[in-house]
Amino acid sequence: MVTTVQPLPRAVSVRHLGPNWYASVMGTAIVATAGVALPVPVPRVLLAAVWALSLGLLVALLAARAVHWTHHRDQARAHLLDPAMAPFYGCLSMALLAVGGGALTVGRDWIGRDAALSLDAVLFGAGTVIGLTAAVAVPYLMAVRHEVEAAQATPVWLLPLVAPMVSAALGPLLVPYLPSGQPRETLLLACFAMFGVSLLATLLMLPLVFGRLITGGPLPLALTPTLFLVLGPLGQSTTAVGKFADFAPGVVPAPYSEGFGVFAVLYGVPVLGFAMLWLALAGAHVVRARRNGMGFAMTWWAFTFPVGTCVTGAEALARHTGLVVYDWLAVGLYVVLVAAWGTAAVHTTRGLVSGELLAMPRPAPLAPRPTTARTR
């Protein structure tokens, strides 16, 4: 008699739980960390509560994904071989990094400095290794296993390439806790190296995304929110150079320490300016898609973390230029971030309760129909 081993009842519900769900952790954590340096006071107890929520979400998702890999390995492997899903493995890295960075900025209020430092060190190390691995492995899979064409390019392709930039922006928080001398300088320059890794890789990929948008017409409705993902490398790189300038004095010798301060302004101002241009362009596409019937999907979490990186980027420029305009830009973007997070969180909760978000996804075209893309 042959017996068939059935999956655990609890495991059935996570069969279609993909790595894209880590975006909810990123989007929640950035609400906490971006609110710390605003020119208007935000109660730290609220920020710490939001960070605690992100930590809880991270733990829950790590457990659920472990069940997914244990009981639905075929589906997990299918995700790796799916060019639309594989790039989201970069979100695992960024979720770990975002929660770890939040531990040192606001989480320490609740768990203490030592526990926050230990948590950040572990999550930063794990997130950085996973991020660098994804930055190599996902493009490799796209080249040798995935069957993709230029017409299928979407901002989702940027996700594994942005992960090292998040490490670059959050790594400097650990510098003061290392022994003075070479350990501190090594970490800071390693973060600068990851800044270069992510920036150059993004500069290679972004023209494909922009070219496809211009020549191929608007993205499918469900993918339209992913246009906000382009803000991620822009805002996060501006944040990173600001962090380098914050921590370089006393860590790297002159004139390099002063050079980081100059670079923070000369790089950050034009890049954040381009981010605002892209924000307007992406917003216009979202308005159009909404009018054409775009409903909620997990892609709506793209409205959160990328906008949050622009908030932290504006805060960095406010520190290094002294211009009030960047303070108020950060405040305005933070309002957008909180509104986007609240909207995405409510819809996600409803989708979980109804079971719709964990049901088998319906196939969606990777590219819009050319006959109607420019006329609607």
Per residue in 200-220, pLDDT (tens digit) is 999 999 999 999 999 888 999
Q: What is the mean pLDDT of residues 313-342?
A: 97
Residues 142, 118 contacting (CB under 8 angstroms): no
DSSP 8-state secondary structure symbol assigned to residue 304: T
Q: What is the mean pLDDT of residues 18-34?
A: 95
Location of structure tokens 């107890």: 45
Residues 286, 212 contacting (CB under 8 angstroms): no
Q: Which of 208, 197, 199 has its CA nearest to residue 155?
A: 208
Virtual CA dihedral for 52, 54, 58, 60, nearest 10 degrees? 70
* Averaged confidence pLDDT in the chain: 90
How far apart CA 352 and CA 88 sit, in angstroms, is 20
Residues 68, 13 contacting (CB under 8 angstroms): no
Residues 170, 101 contacting (CB under 8 angstroms): yes
CB-based contacts of 164: which residues, under 8 Å, 6+ apart?
A: 128, 131, 132, 135, 194, 195, 197, 198
How far apart CA 242 and CA 230 sit, in angstroms, is 19
- Give the model's pLDDT for residue 296: 94
How far apart CA 285 and CA 214 sit, in angstroms, is 12
- Give the model's pLDDT for residue 373: 43
Domain 13-358 belongs to what topology? Glycosyltransferase (1.50.10)
Which pLDDT band, with edges at 50, 70 and 90, does 361 fall under? low
With residue 187 as reference, give the H or E element that holds it: helix 182-216
pLDDT-wise least confident of 3-7, 81-85, 119-123: 3-7
Q: What is the mean pLDDT of residues 167-173?
A: 97
Residues 17, 86 contacting (CB under 8 angstroms): no
Location of structure tokens 């622009």: 310
Tens of pLDDT, residues 133-151: 999 999 999 889 888 887 7
Q: How many other β-carbons are positioned within 10 Å of the β-carbon of residue 293?
A: 7
- Quick one: what percent of the chain has pLDDT higher than 70? 92
In the predicted model, is pLDDT for residue 26 greater than 80? yes
Tokens representing 142 are: 């796209």
In the predicted model, is pLDDT for residue 312 greater than 90? yes
In the predicted model, is pLDDT for residue 5 greater than 50? no
Residues 97, 124 contacting (CB under 8 angstroms): yes
CB-based contacts of 210: which residues, under 8 Å, 6+ apart?
A: none
Residues 305, 98 contacting (CB under 8 angstroms): yes
Extended strands (E) in the chain: none
- Give the model's pLDDT for residue 360: 62
Residues 15, 78 contacting (CB under 8 angstroms): no
How far apart CA 103 and CA 106 sit, in angstroms, is 6
How far apart CA 168 and CA 240 sit, in angstroms, is 6
Three-state DSSP state, 347: helix
Which pLDDT band, with edges at 50, 70 and 90, does 266 fall under? very high
Which pLDDT band, with edges at 50, 70 and 90, does 286 fall under? very high
Q: Which of 340, 357, 286, 353 has its CA nearest to residue 21?
A: 357
- Quick one: what percent of the chain has pLDDT higher than 90? 77
- Give the model's pLDDT for residue 357: 84
- Cα 22 to Cα 28, 74, 90, 149, 365: the distances in Å are 10, 20, 9, 26, 23
Tens of pLDDT, residues 53-102: 999 999 999 999 998 888 888 887 888 888 888 999 999 999 999 999 99
Domain ranges of the chain: 13-358
- Give the model's pLDDT for residue 74: 83
